[in-house]
Amino acid sequence: MIINGDNLIGEKYFTVLPGTSSTYELIYLPLLAGKDKAQIGFIHSRLGEIWYNLTLVSEDRPAVRVPVMRCELGKVE
């Protein structure tokens, strides 16, 4: 398997037995909002290669405000 692109995480090996189907999980973790291009290729020594071109889109999310937490030093809150 070959993954071409930034901010992508996926298993290096993926096996599907004959007569079955499976799902490959590729995780996209961008640092900034925007669009990226990537490719993933599944390679088999006898069956050849299957390539997918990916257009990856990340969007800004609203900030989440967390209430202020206070705790005395050395204690647990």
The 3-class secondary structure across the chain, one letter per residue, is CEEECCCEEECCCCCCCCCCCCCCCEEECCCCCEEEEEEEEEEECCCEEEEEEEEEEECCCCCCCCCCCCCCCCCCC
- Which pLDDT tens digit goes with each residue over 2-50? 999 999 999 999 998 989 999 999 999 998 999 999 999 999 989 899 9
Q: What is the pLDDT of residue 29?
A: 93
Calpha distance 62→65 (Å, rounded): 9
pLDDT band at 76 (very low <50, low <70, confident <90, very high): confident
